[in-house]
Amino acid sequence: MLRIFVILVSLLLSIHSPACSAATDTISAGEALLKDQKLVSRNGRFALGFFHPDTDSKFFPRHALKHCARRRR
Name which of 54, 27, 50 is nearest 37 in CA terms: 50
Predicted TM-score (pTM) above 0.95: no
Residue 19 has what pLDDT? 45
Residue 37 has what pLDDT? 80
Per-residue model confidence as pLDDT tens for the chain (73 residues): 777 777 776 666 555 544 444 556 777 888 877 777 888 888 888 888 777 777 777 877 777 776 555 555 5
| Residue 36, C-beta contacts closer than 8 angstroms, at least 6 positions apart | none
